[in-house]
Structure 1
């Protein structure tokens, strides 16, 4: 099959590289100049697995404006929620009515944006339960052994067709362990709930998933957040993939066994002074709760805490920058 991955960040590279290694034709489209230029210069991306075995994987990467192919079978979108609208505008010249779309982005909101460009029956969305780190331009680290992690996906129409099954077959061949469901909202919300606990708390306290799970009160914290999220889902009329107990077990398993040394993506954004997606995760649950006359108070509190942490970091950076300018001016005056 022919794939184009839009967003060659950590997860986009993992999906694209492994699909390529499974025998598919894969292109990458990205807009981060240092990253794109680095991959073009070195002829690909350097891939590590758990910080070992660094090797160059040849890839074809393009800026949105220079990519002209229109014969792709599937477009895969892996963007930050706040970046998607602009990227869709920049890429729309190579969209057509025959293409299918797969997205496993964090948070909620992206599917509505994709539906502005693609037919509902062509949209497949899901959740990726696998950890990957973009170490820098042209450098990516796949966390976990080959075949680690899993994913759930569903058609927007909840009616799998022949192309959907072909897509699932290739994902299976690439060791993503796909689980095709016919519960669209339940599938997407499962990852939102997971992220609303682990991503947010690990980010606020700058700890790994394993360090969070090691705290004796972790189950109590997780339970409060899971219960609020499921209360929201029930009011939305959504049947979740897991029961509340199964979701708690999933959080514990991933945190203690699958990825105990991993810092979630929200933490990586925070430490690199990039905007987080908390409004599309905890904030989404708050908004949906309000729509159905329910207050997800703990999720609202955590959303504010993440924004406070972002604000504090920006203030510190601004102060550091101002101090550096003063030092430069003093040195210049002394000369």
Structure 2
């Protein structure tokens, strides 16, 4: 299968490496020409800890380019860019998107579905979310972090929150699993996505503001209480939206993720450290907008959004 991955960051490279392991043809699209040059020269470097005195490193050859319009055909498109780049990234590969070569949005944010539905028929869009983590090491290498499940799902008809598990979805899910990625089909993918966004909106914002690795949030009652309040606020917004997050206890999920990735720096904290724009608007920011739409308030997420905007601004100023 020819798989095009739009976004050459850590998660894009993670999927690229594993799809190569599964015998697929992989093309990565990224706007950073230095990343593209490094990928074409050295491939993806996958660094993993498997026990023992040192890490293991494998390299996987891929094609990379800054312009998706050069690609004439593919079987699947993975969108792994930050949520604020969804529209421009999708436009770059729009000529490839069809029901027989669907696009899967994999971002941890709300609003990507609406953007893609403005551009493509619903039958050409799949939703995905992943609980794996990876950290970028230079332009081509990544260090694999937390293992986790990747969920894939059909969107269903416009206005519906549930989709069917179709033969197409099962076929694509099999490509993931045969490549070594733990993947499952989900009939309630939007509910799962909301659950992940609520959980990670708390984790990402707190680790970014406090500048600590994920596990540090478990060491103090104050940080745990802040997380609990942020999650409860997000759950209230989901309930008003009519979405069931599909996880019985999101605070328990939050603690489990922090424990399993205790030494990892969250993706949002990595963005702040590297003077990059974050996805706060697609996480806490969108929860605030939904709250306002339903006549509610989400003051904690509003505060997180404002603080992260200041950190973004100040991190790039002298």
Give TM-score, length-normalised by structure 2: 0.91
Aligned residue runs from structure 1 range 171-320, under 5 A: 171-243=176-248, 246-256=249-259, 258-315=260-317, 317=318
Deviations 1:142-200 (A, max 9, x none): 114xxx21122321110222110011112222333223222232121111111111111
Alignment size in residue pairs: 308
Whichever of the two has the greater Rg, that structure is: 1
Q: Which residue number corresponds to residue 58 of structure 1?
A: 61
Which sections of structure 1, spanning at least 5 residues, go unmatched? 318-335
Distance in 2 between the 1:181 and 1:55 partners? Answer: 31
Distance in 2 between the 1:154 and 1:65 partners? Answer: 24
Q: Once the 2 structures are TM-superposed, how far is the Cα of residue 65 of structure 1 from its aligned partner?
A: 4.8
Q: Which residue number corresponds to residue 116 of structure 1?
A: 118
Q: Once the 2 structures are TM-superposed, how far is the Cα of residue 278 of structure 1 from its aligned partner?
A: 0.5
Contact 2:69 2:92 in 1 (8 A): no
Aligned-partner SS, 2:93: helix
Q: Once the 2 structures are TM-superposed, how far is the Cα of residue 112 of structure 1 from its aligned partner?
A: 1.8
Distance in 1 between the 2:127 and 2:179 partners? Answer: 18
Which range moves more in the overlay, 91-100 or 74-83? Answer: 91-100
Q: Which residue number corresponds to residue 20 of structure 1?
A: 20
Distance in 2 between the 1:202 and 1:176 partners? Answer: 27
Q: Which residue number corresponds to residue 320 of structure 1?
A: none
Distance in 1 between the 2:20 and 2:180 partners? Answer: 12
Cα distance change of structure 1 residues 276 and 292 upon mapping to structure 2, 3 Å threshold? same
Deviations 1:205-260 (A, max 9, x none): 110011111123333222111111110011101112112xx21111111111x211
Distance in 1 between the 2:95 and 2:148 partners? Answer: 34
Q: Once the 2 structures are TM-superposed, how far is the Cα of residue 66 of structure 1 from its aligned partner?
A: 5.8
Contact 2:29 2:68 in 1 (8 A): no
Give TM-score, length-normalised by structure 1: 0.87
Deviations 1:283-303 (A, max 9, x none): 010000000011011111111
Distance in 1 between the 2:168 and 2:198 partners? Answer: 29
Distance in 2 between the 1:197 and 1:100 partners? Answer: 31
Distance in 2 between the 1:238 and 1:162 partners? Answer: 25
Q: Which residue number corresponds to residue 88 of structure 1?
A: 90
Which sections of structure 2, spanning at least 5 residues, go unmatched? 157-162
Cα distance change of structure 1 residues 121 and 97 upon mapping to structure 2, 3 Å threshold? closer
Q: Which residue number corresponds to residue 332 of structure 1?
A: none
Distance in 1 between the 2:111 and 2:206 partners? Answer: 22
Aligned CA RMSD, in angstroms, stands at 1.8
Q: Which residue number corresponds to residue 126 of structure 1?
A: 128
Q: Which residue number corresponds to residue 34 of structure 2?
A: 34
Which range moves more in the overlay, 172-181 or 194-203? Answer: 172-181
Aligned-partner SS, 2:276: coil
